[in-house]
Structure 1
């Protein structure tokens, strides 16, 4: 395996974040934990597609989506490539990651999406934003951790608690979709979604080269 080359390393309010290049691909590492890379964006694209497909057909044209986590930009780029999304908002708490997209090598993935007038990038912590804002969306697509059972920081654990899921529901329009990416299925999280009042709870698998499939947990805020 090709050894990675560190391109940038930053210390921020949430710890260390690193951008590395391995051969032709880029990797993001947060506090020593691998988050994602540019080798395969199927699961990030499914996160967006599954949320849109789960919306009522009449709600799809002009639908609004909040994407939690900019990452390597696959989710944003895929959403911006679909004209059915009317408003695309991304919450990203790491200034370094935003910089890598606006002025760094990840602009090759997200440049067109960032220039799209439907796109808004918020430099903010997703958990704090969900609690503070009064904005609502047709879909919330969350990809800020390796899953509900494997968070990047302890602060993120509150997002998957009863209080955090209530904040997600409050930010969804009636009939809106919550889609959460995870590196592995979580029956406990499915139960938490049901206990929080969501309906239509289900899990879609994304096959990977080896190991447990990635998944997207889906849930509907009842009308």
Structure 2
């Protein structure tokens, strides 16, 4: 969710809303759309490689024989992860959890529809307006997924709001593990590598913990942390 190499142009505010978690803003900088939450840059439409990797790596980590796997995407964002999942016929159910009503609206009827229109029309897709942290801790009865692809912060150590930190705590990771089917995969996007988070995943009972990186124009690479629930 870090900014990529975009030619500088003054940003223009498309819409600004106040919600239960603070202010969220959609800005346009030239041809690029940006989402800002409480003054913190989240993501933009300039690249999207690491957001697509989040889904690609999770799918590749699943056993080849698993049919119609269900994926939960945490954070709609600018829509790259959802669009990627909908492009892949192997996925069965695609559930997206987004806590900001404004972000959902910008995809359904606003400028971000250009990214997600086809994915939202896909019959496999369901968009849930909810706080991901709360949903993971208290999931609907019977909820289980083959993959959790989480991208709601700039990383486990760089959260958008303080309460998001609970997702990466021992209790939060244990809840993620319980939401996965045996052999399921947890994929977590981060703006920087974190050996401490890899250790936390192992301590939470995950197996096969590893990271995949995507180089960015400047600074450290974006990272997807991957971990498996024991089969």
Q: 1:21 corresponds to which residue?
A: 28
Between the aligned partners of 1:122 and 1:129, the Cα distance in structure 2 is 10
> Residue by residue, what CA displacement relative to the aligned partner does 1:66-92 show, whole Å, maximum 9, x if unpaired?
000000000000000110001100000
Question: Paired residue for 1:213, among 211, 214, 221?
Answer: 221
Paired residues in the alignment total 222
Q: 2:75 corresponds to which residue?
A: 69
Between the aligned partners of 1:35 and 1:2, the Cα distance in structure 2 is 18
Between the aligned partners of 1:2 and 1:211, the Cα distance in structure 2 is 21
Secondary structure in 2 matching 1:58 = coil
Secondary structure in 1 matching 2:163 = helix
Q: 1:87 corresponds to which residue?
A: 93
Between the aligned partners of 2:203 and 2:168, the Cα distance in structure 1 is 12
Between the aligned partners of 2:211 and 2:162, the Cα distance in structure 1 is 24
Between the aligned partners of 1:212 and 1:184, the Cα distance in structure 2 is 6
Secondary structure in 1 matching 2:65 = helix
Deviates more, 1:23-32 or 1:124-133: 124-133
Between the aligned partners of 1:132 and 1:120, the Cα distance in structure 2 is 19
Question: Paired residue for 1:197, among 188, 201, 205?
Answer: 205
Asked if 1:51 is matched to 2:62, the reply is: no
Between the aligned partners of 1:221 and 1:8, the Cα distance in structure 2 is 40
> Residue by residue, what CA displacement relative to the aligned partner does 1:111-160 show, whole Å, maximum 9, x if unpaired?
01000000000000001111221300000000000000100000000000
Asked if 1:177 is matched to 2:177, the reply is: no
Between the aligned partners of 1:100 and 1:126, the Cα distance in structure 2 is 19
Q: 1:116 corresponds to which residue?
A: 122
Secondary structure in 1 matching 2:164 = helix
Question: Paired residue for 1:2, among 9, 13, 27?
Answer: 9
Secondary structure in 2 matching 1:36 = strand
Between the aligned partners of 1:3 and 1:146, the Cα distance in structure 2 is 23
Secondary structure in 1 matching 2:92 = strand
Between the aligned partners of 2:97 and 2:137, the Cα distance in structure 1 is 13
Q: Which runs of 5+ in 1 are unaligned?
A: none
Q: Which runs of 5+ in 2 are unaligned?
A: 1-7
> Residue by residue, what CA displacement relative to the aligned partner does 1:1-45 show, whole Å, maximum 9, x if unpaired?
100000000000000000000000100000000000000010000
Between the aligned partners of 1:81 and 1:56, the Cα distance in structure 2 is 19
Secondary structure in 2 matching 1:57 = coil
Task: Supply the RMSD in Å over aligned alpha carbons.
Answer: 0.5
Deviation at 1:210, TM superposition (A): 1.1
